[in-house]
Amino acid sequence: MATEILRQSTLPDPFRAGLSSGWKVVDASALTEDRTVEADVAIVGTGAGGGTAAEILTGAGLTVVMIEEGPLVTSSDFRMRESEAYPQLYQESAARKTKDKTINILQGRCVGGGTTVNWTSSFRTPVATLAYWASEYGLAGFDAADLAPWFEQAERRVNVISWPVEPNENNDALRRGARALGLSVGAIRRNVKGCWNIGYCGMGCPTNAKQSMLVTTIPAALTRGATLITRARAWAFEHANGRVMALDCLGLDARGTDPTPRRIRVRAKTFIASGGAIGSPALLKRSELPDPHDIVGKRTFLHPSLVSIARMPERIDGFSGAPQTIYSDHFLERASPGDPIGYKLEAAPLHPVLGATTLPGFGAAHARWMHELPHAHVAIALMRDGFHRESPGGRVELKSDGTPVLDYPLNDYLWDGARRALATMAEIQFAAGAREVMPVRPAAVSYTSWPEARDAIAALPLGPATANVVSAHVMGGCPLGPDSRRAVVDPSGRYRELENLYVFDGSLFPTSIGANPQLSIYAITAKLASGLAEKLALRPRS
């Protein structure tokens, strides 16, 4: 064990090197007194949106302070253990739930946010999604051609590449099964540089191959003199006369769960909310900002996802190798807005804790599947929510302690999609050679043939017994658009009701994306942040 740690520490950790060169980083859990910080721009959150904005704004010569709720942990700390990674790097120990506790949400909470823990899947925003934003929401300037240069810039920045390595068995089985059924499949591009193909992306990349915000934009911003405050929860904006005056933050304890008595007051000329699609709406609501059309936090989307686990004759080793390299949009492309919901098919990695908590049932039935862990294949179906009147998404609310909860009721429109998705995944898995398939639903029933699975799944009543639902993508809640009745953020990214507040994160999206959202966030926030940088640089600095 000691030898292993010693060996791990021989890998370079550029972030630690930067810290010793004098980067300004404050851990709010260690503060012994309250602090006041000033900057031209204050950015709440260091994920895909906040990281992108920090690099662009410091590049324009502005002073920036970043406020992050999670801890600063870097490659030397990433020991590839779920028991450490989930409590440390994810909201609510990777067990964040919707209000009725039906949906489990995986959401990052650390420096780099979701980009530090995501599975590196890089998709441009689907053209169909952008077209829907234009036709349904009148959003101009965000079509595929408008965004192309921003996608190119983002892809260069985080090194999005066609993955040259063969997919692992978990992804290959998805490809085999889908092809056998005549379904279209594609290869997933990844934002990695020198990836070792070990498969622990979700616990923080120990080799710095993943080009997350933690190794790209945030180091760039810190090198240009930005300040990073960690374990500080942005609590409320103070605002008067149509402007945000200051941001009040609570220090968190070292575990990151409980507030301490310490307060950090941030004064800036411009403020940016990049706390993600639960955090940003919650911050705006706590701040009691004007919201005349009652939009903030509504239409929050999740890509509600279903899981199907199969027992394969060969070893799959779903814990090993790049987690996501194959996808199928077959059932997404066939679904137009207004149709029954479409879904994207992907594989998901399988480590012991994620597997054990996802596998339904208990006792001997559960143990039997765990003993088959190396032979288990995991398919997921991500439903594209927000494109139908029966899919209005969820609503971010505040608990009485001011922390957020997402109320996302599932209705028959979504349960119908869940049932179809479970059937699709079972058919693919049997076509790939599965001996047994278990749609992940509370009853924990498995099937040994496709006809048996098909008939049983078709007979499932719609409702909570249909399926267990998970999410790894939170989007919407502060939609961007030209119509003030439907969008609280204008097309420049500015919160309509205040002069100097911007929202740069996945909460801008008027619907879900229909693909893993990181690249959509990078490109769209890069466009908006560049516009803001231009505007602020033109203004005389006092």
Partner 1 sequence: MKYGTRDRRTRAQALASPPPTSLRITRRTLLKAGVAGVAALVAARWLYTTVSAPSKTTTSDAPLDSNARAILAAIIPVILDGALPGGPDAAGARDEALAGAAQAIAGLPPAVRSELDQLFALLAFAPTRCIVAGLWSPWPDASRESIAAFLGRWRDSRFSLLRSAYEALHQIVLGAWYGNPRTWSAIGYPGPPSLAIG
Binds partner 1 (CB under 8 A): choice among 319, 331, 504, 522: 319
CB of 70 to partner 1, least distance (A): 13
Residue 238 as a binder of partner 1 (CB under 8 A): the answer is: yes
For residues 193 to 222, the per-residue mask of contacts with partner 1, x marking binding by CB under 8 A and - elsewhere, is ---x-x-x-----xx---------------
Binds partner 1 (CB under 8 A): choice among 401, 461, 538, 542: 401
Distance CA 261, CA 252 (A): 9
Distance CA 91, CA 96 (A): 6
Angle ∠(509,209,203) on CA atoms, nearest 5: 70
Residues 258-277 that bind partner 1 (CB under 8 A): 258-259, 261, 263
Residue 398 as a binder of partner 1 (CB under 8 A): the answer is: yes
Distance CA 393, CA 267 (A): 34
Distance CA 465, CA 102 (A): 11
Residue 285 as a binder of partner 1 (CB under 8 A): the answer is: yes
Residue 484 as a binder of partner 1 (CB under 8 A): the answer is: no
Residue 462 as a binder of partner 1 (CB under 8 A): the answer is: no
Q: Would you say the C-alpha torsion 107, 50, 284, 248 has a positive or negative sign?
A: positive
End-to-end CA gap in the chain: 55
Binds partner 1 (CB under 8 A): choice among 157, 175, 298, 351: 351
Residue 87 as a binder of partner 1 (CB under 8 A): the answer is: yes
Q: Taking Cα atoms as reference points, which of 378, 277, 258 lies closest to residue 45?
A: 277
Residue 445 as a binder of partner 1 (CB under 8 A): the answer is: no
CB of 374 to partner 1, least distance (A): 4
Distance CA 307, CA 382 (A): 9
Contact 117, 279 (CB under 8 A): no
Return the number of the residue (8 or 449) whose C-beta is nearest partner 1: 8
Return the number of the residue (10 or 21) whose C-beta is nearest partner 1: 10
Q: Which stretch binds partner 1 (CB under 8 A): 119-127, 217-225, 359-367, 523-531?
A: 359-367
Binds partner 1 (CB under 8 A): choice among 59, 374, 392, 531: 374
Residue 170 as a binder of partner 1 (CB under 8 A): the answer is: no
CA distances, 409 to each of 31, 300, 403, 465 (Å): 40, 11, 19, 14
Return the number of the residue (268 or 523) whose C-beta is nearest partner 1: 268
Distance CA 383, CA 343 (A): 4
Residues 6-25 that bind partner 1 (CB under 8 A): 7-8, 10-11
Residue 313 as a binder of partner 1 (CB under 8 A): the answer is: no
In the DSSP assignment, the letter for residue 295 is -
Distance CA 84, CA 318 (A): 20
CB of 107 to partner 1, least distance (A): 13
Residue 461 as a binder of partner 1 (CB under 8 A): the answer is: no
Burial profile 305-339: b = 16 or more Cβ within 10 angstroms, e = fewer: bbbbbbbbeeebbbbbbbbbbbbbbbbbeebebee
Residue 93 as a binder of partner 1 (CB under 8 A): the answer is: yes
Residues 94-123 that bind partner 1 (CB under 8 A): 95, 97, 99-102
Residue 236 as a binder of partner 1 (CB under 8 A): the answer is: yes
Distance CA 148, CA 523 (A): 9
Residue 43 carries which side chain, given as an amino acid letter?
Answer: I
Residue with tokens 């399926």: 467
> Where along the sequence are the contacts to partner 1 (CB under 8 A)?
4, 7-8, 10-11, 79-83, 86-87, 92-93, 95, 97, 99-102, 196, 198, 200, 206-207, 235-236, 238, 248, 253, 255, 257-259, 261, 263, 285-288, 319, 351-353, 355-357, 359-360, 362-364, 366-368, 370-371, 373-374, 398-403, 405, 442-443, 464-465
